[in-house]
Amino acid sequence: MRLRNIPGADEVISNSPVCIQNPVEYKGNWNAVFGNANPIHIEIGMGKGRFLTDLAAFNPNINYIGIERYTSVLLRAVQKIDELQFPNVRFLCIDAATLPEIFAAGEVDRIYLNFSDPWPKDRHARRRLTSSEFLNRYDQILAPEGRIEFKTDNVDLFNFSLKEIENSSVWRLQVKTYNLHEDPMLNFGNIMTEYEEKFSSKGNPICKLIATR
């Protein structure tokens, strides 16, 4: 999908105090950014930021870092957070492939992947955020008891993700569902993303899995 370029987005992201400009400098010291030793949760591919800011409002004792590759998308989240003034939220405009360069081993307590790009062509499989390549990257930064939570409406991507976890010597599937909103246990306390609300309103079932080591 071609993203619409928004004039001035790069400048806003570069000047925003909630957007960390040189994240590699904070590897191993992210709690200093927030001024506390609270757990760190990250969302990769955060879009406009609704999911992350809703979580931050409910959980002030958790630090949240939203990761988005495109300034034109991140801009909306920055504008929202400037209005809401959450002290436990920061943003990174980076490629998720660089995560091990930015976070130290065990520095992240939870990873959220919500409605990630399915990269449907087989030759692009390694770009999927649940591919073995990315699972290996998560292993380098996630705390021993940490976990990955993944939601999508794309059944093919979900099945691919299940196979990648099944074939992994590191990760194991904790729980899964092909219909989140009809699953009383997994849907309890569920925070919806913009895409989740849109797709579920059209009758599309939402898939979710949780993976741990």
Catalytic residue check, 117: yes
Kind and range of the H or E run holding 47: none
- Give the residue from 213, 182, 207, 177 showing the smallest Cα distance to 195: 207
d(CA 58, CA 38): 14
Residue 144 φ/ψ, nearest 5 degrees: -55, -40
DSSP per residue, 146-168:
EEEEEEES-HHHHHHHHHHHHT-
Q: Which of 117, 122, 139, 183 is catalytic?
A: 117
Catalytically active residues are 117
